[in-house]
Amino acid sequence: MRITRITLANCRNYGEATIEPQAGLNVFLGRNAQGKSNLLEAIGLLGTGKSFRTSREAEIVREGYGLAAVSADAVVRSGNVTLGFTIARGERTTRKTLTINGRAVRYAHFLGKLRVVSFAPADLAVIVGAPGLRRAFLNLALAQEQPNYYTALAMYARTLRQKNALLRSGPPYDEELFAIYDRTMVERGARMTLARAQYVQTLGPHARAEHLRWSAGEELVLGYNSAIGYEIGDDEAMLRERFERALETGRTRERARGAALVGPHRDDLTLALDGRSLAEYGSQGQHRTALLALKVAEYRAMAAATGEAPLLLLDDVLSELDPDRAARFLDGLGGFEQAFVTATHLEHALPGATAFSIEGARIARVA
């Protein structure tokens, strides 16, 4: 898939800007704080409907304006499609509207129309940060690959919040209501656990192979740590049983703590290097190499699962690599249809790249 035109209106520091990116590499060069990351964020909004930079989405709307919009014409396998994202900043809340060919659609329908894999230096937190960041990484990749995953996740997350509220309210509990929340969480949670565990099994070999290309024989192993005790070979029915048993075992503990402690919201993606936890023992260099391998694996897995290469958004990543390593990184992706790359400068021109300059929120094609 690729974008043939993208228009930004009042996004961050942009007034109005339109560009026509080409197939292959599109490189955006400019000094810091000119709008490079903002452009990539806007493209990401059309893929996931969410910012990969902030959870405070009101920030996306340009200072002093009420409405920000991004729209793009894209060429996907099923044909041409125009995607739109608008966010209105109200006095207390924000409202997002997602459109496909001008028609407003629900989030679950918008997801997966344009798939993106983004990679920025801040993603290092996925390797070294809290488990929630790794769950978010899995969720975003899976939601783009499988729309049904998002539906299960949304229902699970909402039911979890209700169950937590019920637990916090303290006894006497409405047992009937507990049973209903647990039943919903088991049904959706088993599906989520299976999808995530299988996804990690798919990522594993890609990540391991890519990692070997960058390190001196160190072996990167991914694992999925499941709170309900997933084991390889489990199907959904078996996971539902495991989940139910774990809920029974954990019931007293959950009520004592006043919080839901059992389920995929407590899971983690584990990364080990030669058998040792990467986050605990790895050096910063090892963390970076692992992140690179993980991102390449995400990209390849998404391309394989959907039969279509996703858009690649590289924010300030290639400038960290020397030209030789940059070429090796792009080579490792196994061919991409379209990539958006930002950098303050590049040591060497990238062959076949279309270059743009960004200065003060103005984007111009460089011959």
Partner 1 sequence: MTRSEPPAEPVVALINEFTKLPTIGPKTAARLVFHILNRPRNEAQSLSEAILAVKDRVGFCSVCASITESDPCAFCRDERRDATLLCVVADAKDLYAIERSGAFHGRYHVLGGVISPMDGIGPGQLRVRELVERVGSEATHEVIIATNPNAEGEATALYLSRLLAPLVATVSRLAYGLPIGSDLDYADEATLARALEGRRLM
Q: Which is nearer to partner 1, 186 or 339 (CB)?
A: 186
Amino acid at 296: V
Determine which residue in the list 5, 31, 158, 325 makes contact with partner 1, applying CB under 8 A. Answer: 158
Q: To the nearest whole angstrom, how small is the minimum distance from the Cβ of residue 74 to partner 1?
A: 16
Site for partner 1 contains 100 (CB under 8 A)? yes
Site for partner 1 contains 48 (CB under 8 A)? no
Q: Footprint of partner 1 on residues 227-286 (CB under 8 A)? A: none
Site for partner 1 contains 81 (CB under 8 A)? no
Residue 124: closest CA among 325, 332, 317: 317
Q: Kindly give the pairing relationship between strand 24-29 and strand 16-19.
A: unpaired
Binding window for partner 1 (CB under 8 A); candidates: 169-177, 282-290, 314-322, 343-351? 169-177
Determine which residue in the list 96, 109, 208, 266 makes contact with partner 1, applying CB under 8 A. Answer: 109
- Asked if residue 342 lies in contact with residue 314, where contact means CB atoms within 8 angstroms, the answer is yes
Q: To the nearest whole angstrom, how small is the minimum distance from the Cβ of residue 189 to partner 1?
A: 13
| Sheet strands side by side (includes 268-273) | 220-225, 268-273, 276-277
Task: Return the structure tokens found at 210.
Answer: 């890519």
Determine which residue in the list 26, 159, 202, 286 makes contact with partner 1, applying CB under 8 A. Answer: 159
- Asked if residue 110 lies in contact with residue 242, where contact means CB atoms within 8 angstroms, the answer is no
Binding window for partner 1 (CB under 8 A); candidates: 14-22, 101-109, 232-240, 344-352? 101-109
Q: Kindly give the pairing relationship between strand 268-273 and strand 24-29.
A: unpaired
Max intra-chain CA distance, the chain: 72
Q: In angstroms, what CA-CA distances link 167 with 205, 255, 345, 350?
A: 41, 6, 54, 57
Q: To the nearest whole angstrom, how small is the minimum distance from the Cβ of residue 228 to partner 1?
A: 20
Site for partner 1 contains 324 (CB under 8 A)? no
Q: Which is nearer to partner 1, 264 or 332 (CB)?
A: 264
**Helices 323-332 & 175-214 angle (0-180, nearest 10):** 130
Q: Kindly give the pairing relationship between strand 94-100 and strand 103-105.
A: antiparallel
Site for partner 1 contains 305 (CB under 8 A)? no
Question: In which residue are the tokens 């993603």 written?
Answer: 123
Site for partner 1 contains 85 (CB under 8 A)? no
Half-sphere exposure of 344 (CA within 13 A, CB side): 5
Determine which residue in the list 180, 279, 353, 355 makes contact with partner 1, applying CB under 8 A. Answer: 180
Contact set with partner 1 (CB under 8 A): 90-92, 100, 103, 105-106, 108-109, 147-148, 151, 155, 158-159, 161-163, 165-166, 169, 174, 176-177, 180-181, 183-184
